[in-house]
Structure 1
Amino acid sequence: MKPVTPSHKYIWCCLFAMVLLGACDSIWRKEQPKALARVGEKYLYTADVIALMGKNLSKEDSASFVTNYINNWASKQLLLDKAKINLPEDKLADYDALVADYRTDLYTRAYKEALVQQVNDSTVSKAQIESFYEKEKENFRLKEMLVKLRFVALPKDFLNKVEVAERLKNFGEKDRIVLDSISVQFRKTSFNDSIWITASRIIDEIPPLTFENVDKQLKKSQFLNLEDDNGVYLAKILDVRPVDDIAPLSFIEPTIEQVLLSRRKLDFIRKLETEVIDEAIKKKEFEIYETDKNNKRYEDE
């Protein structure tokens, strides 16, 4: 029996199909990324560098940035290759494990944060803050003195110091209006006497005060009239909370709010981790293998 040989027509059809497929491949093939540099089998592509460049760089700055980036990239790759060759195997294994752990932590932390943001309730009620404050009062002992006061810093050559001092002491409605109207002549002002301020901040604002004399100078109902080379400092002390006293709620409230929000976040993450494990166990995606008391399983391995 003679072997069957393909006809000329069949051969031409095959060749035509191959050419057609080649043409289609050239049409639909994606443009290959442009490489800027190569180290061994690793390539640095233009797109990688462009993504890091600032939009407002000049041509000269752009060229300098690209050159420096290529050199830094090449240096890292070459040193990495040498490290893999010259470092002991056990060290490489340790570093690979650290990298894997870091990668896992990075991904899982980002995922947890994304879930927290989705269900995040950033509101804390006044009642929750007050309840926490009452329970934890002893943990809010002051590390430094707190003061309520109003004060002004005047230029040394200011003419109406006496009037300003009297109005600052009285601080009725008319006094406030007058002081506000001339406040552009003052060096510094603080008329909000309802908030607590730390002694260290007051010392920064009133240089004649120091940590050595602050206890004597800052007393409730006292009026300060201090002076240095830069000017005159007038202050009316309304209230004082000494060191080791319990911090007032109005001062500690922002801290309590952050503590409660942090606890809420931690509770959510703990619940999430527990639910993930429970779900995996139900789906038989996670198993813990029992071992005997002598850890025979591990010894055998």
Structure 2
Amino acid sequence: MNLRSKGFKGIAFIVVMLLMSSCDWLQFKDDSPVEGEKPIAKVEDQYLYKSDLKGLTGNEMSAADSINRVSQYINKWVRQQLIIAKAEDNMVMDEAELDRRLLEYKYSLLIYEYKKKHVNEQLDQEVSDEEIQEYYEKHSDNFKLMQNIIKGRFVKLSKEAPKISEFRTKFRAANIDEEELQEYCYNNAQVYMLDDSTWHNFDELIIGTPISDIPNKVQFLKGNKFYETSDDNFRYFLRIKDYKITDEISPVDVVRDQIKTIIINKRKVELSNKLEEDIYESAKENEDFEIFGQ
């Protein structure tokens, strides 16, 4: 018999009944230490009650989601209590030290939540282009490329596509009719990327094409502005407007979002530290604390 499966089915059954009723139907042996409340799970002398599940589910949740969440909670509680019981049987821990550490954790959690609330209320998440550019220039060595990137165009056409010769001429032309090129690709291309104002990961762009088999990608990028190749079923057209290779400094446009995140996270740290310092200085000025013996 699969005990784990049996246990899960039992929990699921209890959960369904909990959600369908007020739990009065449960006919547990009434050995619960809480008078008037019947338990829904027990590990040694520890009990879990319906009241412990308050807030786990809401009206916006489906019945299936509610059952799943409560089942997970009950199963987690059982596992946790089993481990706690085993730990208590096999470990000797100073009660005062345990209380001290629990209190320390409680205070740390309280401070963390208060700081997070303060930061969320005070944080300015607007980052200007000037701030991004300034940070980029000061820390550009931190933004070396991990891959080759290009600005360019890429089109994958079936060999049966119409007017390929005409398309080839227009694709290579100095003055491209953007609307005409877009319409042709929309109607005939298997894959196409025509935005040559944005940087693209070169390896991702050419994956699954004969170009990906070229051994020296850096030499390829340096030596080609236009490239055309084919396999059994398709023709591939690549036009390279600009490129950057691995280990070069990334263009600012590529790391703009990354820099914005860095700046915002830095503001969060500064707000958190300032809050702590302001509270301390205010208390010091108002003589709200005293350190004896100093």
TM-score (norm 2): 0.71
The 8 Å contact of residues 123 and 267 in structure 2, kept in 1 or not, is answered as no
1:44 is aligned to 2:48: yes
Match of 1:24 in 2: none
2:220 to 185, 208, 217: 217
CA distance in 2, matches of 1:280, 1:256: 36
Match of 1:9 in 2: none
Match of 1:153 in 2: 156
Match of 1:253 in 2: 256
Match of 1:112 in 2: 115
Match of 1:77 in 2: 81
Relative to 1, partners in 2 of residues 1:280 and 1:233: Cα closer, same or farther, differing over 3 Å?
same
CA distance in 1, matches of 2:247, 2:286: 55
Deviations along 1:129-152, one digit per CA (max 9) or x if unpaired, are: 222233333433334332111111
Count residues with an aligned counterpart.
256
Whichever residue aligns with residue 246 of structure 1, its letter is I
The 8 Å contact of residues 220 and 238 in structure 1, kept in 2 or not, is answered as no
Q: SS of 2:271's equivalent?
A: helix
Match of 1:278 in 2: 281
Match of 1:23 in 2: none
The 8 Å contact of residues 145 and 250 in structure 2, kept in 1 or not, is answered as yes
The 8 Å contact of residues 56 and 69 in structure 2, kept in 1 or not, is answered as no
Whichever residue aligns with residue 181 of structure 1, its letter is E
The 8 Å contact of residues 203 and 212 in structure 2, kept in 1 or not, is answered as no
Relative to 1, partners in 2 of residues 1:247 and 1:256: Cα closer, same or farther, differing over 3 Å?
same
Relative to 1, partners in 2 of residues 1:200 and 1:111: Cα closer, same or farther, differing over 3 Å?
farther
Q: SS of 2:241's equivalent?
A: strand
Deviations along 1:257-278, one digit per CA (max 9) or x if unpaired, are: 2222222221111111211222
Match of 1:131 in 2: 134
Relative to 1, partners in 2 of residues 1:38 and 1:282: Cα closer, same or farther, differing over 3 Å?
farther
Relative to 1, partners in 2 of residues 1:177 and 1:185: Cα closer, same or farther, differing over 3 Å?
same
Q: SS of 1:208's equivalent?
A: helix
Deviations along 1:35-80, one digit per CA (max 9) or x if unpaired, are: 434556644222433643584336xx94x98677546534532442
1:57 is aligned to 2:60: no
Return 5+ residue gaps in structure 2 as ranges.
1-35
Structure 1 range deviating more: 95-104 or 249-258: 95-104
2:202 to 183, 190, 199: 199
CA distance in 2, matches of 1:279, 1:161: 76
2:179 to 177, 180, 186: 177
Relative to 1, partners in 2 of residues 1:270 and 1:51: Cα closer, same or farther, differing over 3 Å?
closer
CA shift, 1:157, in A, is 3.0
Whichever residue aligns with residue 181 of structure 2, its letter is L
CA distance in 2, matches of 1:223, 1:188: 17
Match of 1:22 in 2: none
The 8 Å contact of residues 225 and 232 in structure 1, kept in 2 or not, is answered as yes
CA distance in 2, matches of 1:112, 1:206: 51
Match of 1:25 in 2: none
Q: SS of 2:212's equivalent?
A: coil
Higher CA-based Rg = 1
Q: SS of 1:237's equivalent?
A: strand
The 8 Å contact of residues 203 and 210 in structure 1, kept in 2 or not, is answered as no
